Structure 1
Amino acid sequence: MSDLLIELFSEEIPARMQQKAREDLKSLVTNGLVEAGLTYASAGAFSTPRRLVLTVEGLSSESPTLREERKGPKVGAPDKAVEGFLRSTGLTLDQLEIRDDKKGQVYFAVMEKPGRAAAAIIAEVLEKTIRTFPWPKSMRWGAGSLRWVRPLHSILCILTDEAGAQIVDLDIDGIAAGNASQGHRFMAPDRFAVTSFDDYSAKLKTAKVVLDAQTRADTIWHDAEQMAFARGLELVQDKGLLAEVSGLVEWPVALMGQIDDEFLGLPPEVLQTSMKEHQKFFSVKSPKTGRIEGFVTVANRETSDQGETILKGNQKVLSARLSDAKFFWENDQRLVKSGGLVAMGAGLSEVTFHNKMGSQAERIARIAALTAEIAPSVGADPALARQAAEVAKADLQSEMVYEFPELQGIMGRYYAQSAGLPDAVADACRDHYSPLGPSDDVPSDPVTVAVALADKIDTLTGFWAIDEKPTGSKDPFALRRAALGVIRLVLTNALRLNLTETFAKGYPGADTADLLTFFHDRLKVYLRDQGVRHDVIDAVLAMPGNDDLVLVVKRATALSDLLKTDDGENLIQGYKRANNILSQAESKDGVEYSFGADLKFVESEAEKALFVALDTAEEKINKAMSGDDFAGAMAAMATLRTPIDAFFTDVQINSENEIIRRNRLNLLSQIRKICLSVADVAKLEG
């Protein structure tokens, strides 16, 4: 057994590509080795800005010898048959064996493929991996044909066993594999030889390189938190930024700076976004006020002045950035205070939303009208909700949002407050985009909910009207996300909206039935994630009222709960048995048995018990359904399990007495009718 170490050393790899790159390196190499007949015990992949690394432990020293026997044509068969067999095996006639078979003598080919040394296999697999590596973007350099994300400088590839380390013989476009690497670009640039992964990782650490990305991230966060704590401040969490920064440095050195007083009045989101987007700084806030007062930058080296020069340079660049942000903020504030959000949003009439759906201003007018229509259904004041919709997107014309598009909505709230608008309006400006994703919080304030629903429904009905629907995996206008947003708004706030009627009030010309089907598909995905079976959802969606999502979910939840019980599962089987017998009889007799059974024709106790149970259950189910008490309806239906089981055990449906037979079939019809009143249980599987 041997251990394999591979390092692909290059210019800086973009941070966003590193995680997938190390996963790809691991899968491509290990899969290639296994396909070639080698086995291994474990593998691990690592990355820094300048290297991709793979270690494979317990690798077999060679692939096994493979022996294959293949039966051919009979001896004396036509020449063409024998020649075809020889071509398929790559053998000559004198290399074939002749063996006795049941029907005479037959040619046999015995082929043996000798095993290969691990080093030869590794060289082939690694060369193929490097030449076909799936970088999102790659480049060529110099005169060679090799493509890599950035110029590839060296390849380290060694096999280590009890006898020592062996360099794998490999040369790719003049880059020969070796046993050497190098450390930090500035602090330890000299090359050094290694004999194993342990030797490699230890020497890298001495050469100021932290190989593991998670270790770098943990170091950054720990040091930054300690610095903030020492000043009585608190680090603002940002997992995405932490992952990115840990991919920008090989030797992380956290440095903390202070924001100049002149910028402390800027909204915290502005400070945080400016520092994150432009300079990859972590924000540091006061735990008492929530105000952003400092920052942490992460250098890629230690310096003799403890980072003072680096910090001064960063502080200078930050001041220039924040001066721009302050300028934008003050200009926007002056505009709002002189003319309000109406003045800020005036230019939206010149901004096209979509060439088939008009300008942003026209869209806002539609959203405002729809918001006023929806408002009573969500408990919002129509006039206040309309006011919120009319100004909710005004900040799209602000200088701040033009510079930082990710602040749309957030800045709208600040500008609405500056304009003296009600808090509900300001909150709607900020929150009406939500929820954007499955993990986003769902707004609950009625005014915000009304605007958010109108915004998303206008988008959906508009794109449906111009026939720009999602197809396959393509959804350029994020319509699936918009539909899921509507679903979450409705369900989280328990809104009893008739979606078909609401769609009809949206953009004119949309096929509301087709759009409702699209919503049902999104709802299926949503409910499946909640653990509701797809057939249960289908059974519920087949019922009237399927454009009331709250009703649908309540019914689906109740049915799902019923099916988790023995009574529920057995009841459905009883229904299916009754339905099958009934369907066959109706087909044979050419009539529909749906006129109700008559108690005077009942003969057995089991038959009488089912008769009484059906009447009792129907009364309870009807009462429960009228109050949308689906759990109560399902519970009443579950009581039928025992009498239905007893009926099928004790009663012969096809009595010789035609009157008795018809009565019993009408009794089965009653079972079908009651079960179908709760859900289309015929769609349930099993």
Structure 2
Amino acid sequence: MPDLLIELFSEEIPARMQARAAEDLKRLVTDGLVEAGLTYEGAKGFATPRRLALTVHGVTARSADVKEERKGPRVGAPEKALEGFLRSAGLASIDDAKIESDPKKGDFYVAVIEKPGRAAEEIVAELLPQVIRNFPWPKSMRWGAASAPKDSRFADADALGTGSLRWVRPLRSILCMFGPETEDPEIVSFRVGDIESGNVTYGHRFMAPDAIRVRRFDDYVPKLEAAKVVLDPERRRNIIATEAKNLAFAQGFEVVEDAGLIDETAGLVEWPVVLMGRFDEAFLEIPEEVIRLTIRQNQKCFVLRGADGALTNRFLLVSNIEARDGGKEIIAGNERVIAARLSDARFFYEQDLATPLGEWGAKLEAVTFHDKLGTQAERVARIATLAGALAPVVDAKPEEAERAAKLAKADLPTGMVGEFPELQGVMGRYYAKAQGEAANVADAIRDHYKPQGPGDAVPSEPVAMAVALADKLDTLTGFWAIDEKPTGSKDPFALRRAALGVIRIVLENGLRLPLLPLFSKRLDETTAADLLSFFADRLKVHLRDQGARHDLIDAVFALPGQDDLLMVVRRVEALAGLLASDDGQNLLTSYRRAANILRAEEKKDGKSYTGEPDHALIHEKGEAAERELLAVIENVEAHVEKHLKLEDFSGAMASLAELRPAVDAFFDHVTVNAEDTNLRENRLKLLNRIREAMHGVADFSKIGG
């Protein structure tokens, strides 16, 4: 079967757009082929800085003939109905339609629409211009004389203005070949703007810029390779990673891993060549994080560690050319730029150190956090108060927690954080240590932002935990107080991340932290309950990722006063353990039977069957199974209460399981809806007693399955 090869050759495509663009090209072309009636066996997209390429294997040579019957209006229908039918069916006259009879509806018109199949080349030639003109680049541009406004003095007679071709960067050529492996493929001819499709591509901009004629994908890849272009981005990534590792190892160093930088550099070069440079050792006095960010952001270079684990004064760069001098000039140029950038970083660092953190923090009085929530300084004061209150919960000293909180945001106005916002907290730690703050206070300044994502560790040192919790809880209660909550997929203040951070800190450190008392200091009862519900939703997401069932979380949160996240999780785990057993599943079945009977009878009678059943009536007129159930319920309730007081949730669940035999026997031998109204009411109250006993540990009505 024939194969299709497409290449869109342009000026440099931004690295961050390449992977998505390759996938978009694949999707748009293959979807278009299928929609036009063609099938294919496989497709793969590629991207380099100067080209998007797509190979589609096993494309059918021609779309199938299609015959379709379209039912129209009845014979004798109004003229307008007939006209609409003719337009939709593409018929010139109603005489071109046939008439069919329906025993119930009478005679009606039917259009027989026959669409002959088309050659794949014709379909591709029609499809590709549409794909190119409507390509979903995040940003694109127009260029050339045709893009000038039609009324501009720079415009020629053929100017298209805003109607001219848009592409991420100027599009230079289009390669489009189609044909089977056993024959010479042909050019699929079409035009986009002033570009005619052909069989020509181009090699490396500097080392092999000449035109290359291509037949199919099998010779396209090796010809590009010979012209110093590695087409596959994954192979470019592997080349960079391997060469960097080998070059560093040869010098006794180790590359500081940076998968994101490898991806970025692979999108900047078509022929990766890794080279090593150096900078003045004096710059190693700057904090490691500053050196890494400076070298990474400004020059897209990798830093190296020595055998002792400390940064060295060497770096690796990825060149796009095999230079005749072995890369000496390229290395020298990068060294000059990096030296200048590190010199700037050292200046910021030294200037920041000259001012105490407390004075930097005072500048936050002029920084607005949110129009309705005051300045950053006011926020810091709230966080400090809350951190001091939380300190006993995490076994921290209140004065240390408050001190760390007061300094936690002080590095925000500094020159270094202004240059590299990613270093907020990190620089605060360095400045705090330099001015003699306690180690745990300095570490808390850095760690209170954690966790910043699913893969980030949570703070585990007590002072850091107190400040991190206070920071996140102040954010959440503040935005709930002004009714700025996440909606749908929008969460501009990262409140979901803040709640998940609180959950992870609490659970991973085993903290007992009732939330409602903290919420009530700032929120009314209704708003506090709404925020707790938000936490329940975030907890579901967190536990679901670990395999827990969301309905069990609902069953526990439905109990009153469930605002202690650690205890909620332990109840959920115990409930899951109960339901994993046969006794638990059978008990759930019995609960549902009791609940269904109660719900039906309460609805019918218009009243609730709460209250204690008449013990004397049960002993005088009740069945043996009825008396046994009453005794077991009383025994189980006592056991459950004892276990709950000890926070032994597994024991409480195990005690509930003791209900099962007595409940089963009750349903087997006792008629709930007895003719004696007193017996009936008493038995319904007994069923309610079962329901209430089980609701002591979880709301089983919330459990699905």
Which residue number in structure 2 is paired with residue 94 of structure 1? 95
Higher deviation after alignment, 326-335 or 305-314:
326-335
Is 1:597–1:667's contact at 8 Å kept on the other side of the alignment?
Answer: no
Structure 2 vs 1, CA of residues 600 and 285 (structure 1 numbering), >3 Å: closer, same or farther? same
1:108 partnered with 2:124:
no
Q: Which amino acid in structure 1 is aligned with residue 341 of structure 2?
A: R
Question: 1:552/1:616 Cα in 2 relative to 1: closer, same or farther (>3 Å)?
Answer: same
Alpha-carbon spacing, 1:39–1:577, altered in 2? closer, same or farther (3 Å)? same
Measure the CA separation in 2 of the matches of 1:664 and 1:519: 39
Cα distance, 1:465 vs structure 2: 2.7
Query: Match for 1:542 among 543, 549, 558?
Result: 558
Provide the rounded CA distance (Å) in 1 between the counterparts of 2:255 and 2:359.
38
Aligned-residue sequence identity (percent) comes to 56
* 1:561 CA displacement: 3.2
Describe the superposition over 1:399-420 as per-residue Cα deviations: whole angstroms up to 9, x where unpaired: 2222211111111111111111
Q: For 1:98 and 1:513, how far apart are their aligned partners in 2?
A: 67
Aligned in 2, Cα 1:202/1:358: closer, same or farther, shift over 3 Å? Answer: same
Residue in 2 aligned with 1:38? 38
Q: Distance in 2 between matches of 1:295 and 1:478?
A: 35
CA contact (8 A) 1:63 1:116 kept: yes
Q: What code does the residue aligned with 1:324 have? A: D
For 2:15, the equivalent position in structure 1 comes to: 15
In structure 2, what is the equivalent of residue 660 of structure 1? 679
CA distance in 1, matches of 2:669, 2:234: 69
Alpha carbons of structure 1 residues 135 and 278: separation in structure 2 relative to 1, 3 Å: same
Alignment pair present for 1:321 and 2:341: yes
2:133 corresponds in structure 1 to: 131
Identify which range, 667-676 or 470-479, moves more after superposition: 470-479
Question: Of the candidates 214, 217, 239, which is equivalent to residue 219 of structure 1?
Answer: 239
Q: Given the superposition, is the C-alpha separation of residues 605 and 105 from structure 1 closer, same or farther in structure 2, using an over 3 Å criterion?
A: same
Matched, 1:398 2:418: no
Which whole-Å CA distance do the structure 1 matches of 2:604 and 2:60 have between them? 70
From 368, 376, 379, give the equivalent of 2:392.
Answer: 376
Aligned counterpart, 1:28: 28
Displacement, 1:376? 1.0
Alpha-carbon distance in structure 2 between the residues aligned to 1:154 and 1:591: 79
Q: How does 1:51-62 map to 2 (within 5 A)?
A: 51-62=51-62
Which consecutive unaligned segments of at least 5 residues does structure 1 have? Answer: none
The residue that corresponds to 1:147 in the other structure is 166
Deviation of residue 6 (structure 1)? Answer: 0.5
Counterpart position of 2:619: 600
Q: Secondary structure at the match of 1:12?
A: coil
Choose 244-253 or 316-325, whichever is displaced more.
316-325
Over 3 Å counting, the alpha-carbon distance change for 1:460 and 1:99 in structure 2 is: closer
One-letter amino acid matched to 1:494? G
Q: In the alignment, is the contact (CA less than 8 A) between 1:601 and 1:660 conserved in 2?
A: no
Deviation of residue 497 (structure 1)?
1.4
**Residue identity matched to 1:634:** M
Deviation readout 1:343-368 (Å, 9 max, x if unpaired)? 33332222222233332222212211
Change (3 A) 1:529 1:289: closer
CA distance in 2, matches of 1:533, 1:668: 27
| Residue 242 in structure 1 maps to residue 244 in structure 2 | no
Distance 2:631 2:34 in 1: 68
Task: State the AA in 2 paired with 1:172.
Answer: V
Shift of 1:507: 8.8
Other structure's SS at 1:469 match: coil
Match for 2:532: what amino acid? L
Matched residues in 2 for 1:567 and 1:197: separation?
63
Matched, 1:277 2:277: no
Going from structure 1 to structure 2, the CA distance change for 1:322 and 1:74 (only over 3 Å counts) comes to closer
Which whole-Å CA distance do the structure 2 matches of 1:665 and 1:463 have between them?
47
Equivalent in 301, 318, 334 of residue 321 of structure 2: 301
SS of the aligned residue for 1:546 comes to coil
Contact 2:613–2:683 (Cα < 8 Å) also in 1:
no
Change (3 A) 1:94 1:586: closer
Q: Unmatched 5+ residue regions in structure 2?
A: 148-163
| 1:291 Cα deviation from its structure 2 partner | 2.5
Q: Distance in 1 between matches of 2:12 and 2:526?
A: 50
SS in 2 for 1:155: strand
The answer to which of 636-645 and 484-493 deviates more is 636-645
Cα distance, 1:602 vs structure 2: 6.4
1:363 corresponds in structure 2 to 379
Distance between the aligned counterparts of 1:217 and 1:592, measured in 2? 70
Which of 490, 493, 496 in structure 2 is aligned with 1:480?
496
Cα offset for 1:557? 2.4
> Structure 1 residues 84, 219: CA separation in 2 closer, same or farther (over 3 Å shift)?
closer
* 1:409 paired residue number: 425
CA distance in 2, matches of 1:152, 1:127: 13
Task: Report if the CA contact (8 A) 2:191-2:197 is conserved.
Answer: yes
Structure 1 segment 345-360 matched on structure 2, within 5 A: 345-360=361-376
- Cα distance between partner residues in 2 of 1:18 and 1:172: 21
Aligned CA RMSD, in angstroms, stands at 2.2
SS of residue paired to 2:130: helix
How far apart are 1:372 and its partner, in Å?
Answer: 0.7
SS in 2 for 1:46: strand
Please list, as runs of the form range in 1=range in 2, the aligned pairs for 1:130-209 lying within 5 A after superposition: 130-142=132-144, 143-144=146-147, 145-161=164-180, 162-209=182-229
Rate the CA distance shift 1:15–1:108 in 2: closer, same or farther, 3 A: same
Report deviation, 1:170.
1.1
Give, in whole Å, the separation in 2 of the partners of 1:221 and 1:268: 22
Say which SS state the counterpart of residue 285 (structure 2) adopts: coil
What SS does the corresponding residue of 1:540 show, helix, strand or coil? Answer: helix
Partner of 1:646: 665
In the alignment, what sits opposite 2:351? 331
| Alpha-carbon contact 2:609-2:684 (below 8 Å) kept | no
Query: Taking structure 1 as reference, are residues 99 and 614 closer, same or farther at Cα in structure 2, changes over 3 Å only?
Result: same
Taking structure 1 as reference, are residues 273 and 506 closer, same or farther at Cα in structure 2, changes over 3 Å only?
A: farther
Preserved contact between residue 593 and residue 662 of structure 1 (Cα < 8 Å) = no
Preserved CA contact (<8 Å) 1:575 1:672: yes
User: What amino acid sits opposite 1:551 in the alignment?
Assistant: M
Matched, 1:427 2:446: no
Structure 2 letter corresponding to 1:675: M
SS of the residue 1:294 aligns to: strand
Measured against aligned partners, the alpha-carbon deviations of 1:377-418 in whole angstroms (never above 9, x if no partner) come to: 111100111111111222223222222111111111111111
**In the superposition, relative to structure 1, how do residues 397 and 90 fare at CA in structure 2: closer, same or farther (>3 Å)?**
closer
Deviations 1:195-229 (A, max 9, x none): 10011001000000001111101100100111111
| CA-CA distance at 1:169 after TM superposition | 1.7
Alpha carbons of structure 1 residues 658 and 234: separation in structure 2 relative to 1, 3 Å: same
| Larger deviation, residues 513-522 vs 582-591 | 582-591
Secondary structure of the corresponding residue to residue 154 of structure 1: strand
What is the CA deviation profile of residues 481-521 of structure 1, one whole-angstrom value per residue up to 9, with x for unaligned ones? 11221121122222211212112446999943332232223
Distance 2:318 2:378 in 1: 46
Structure 2 counterpart of 1:641, which letter? R
Q: Distance in 1 between matches of 2:210 and 2:78?
A: 71
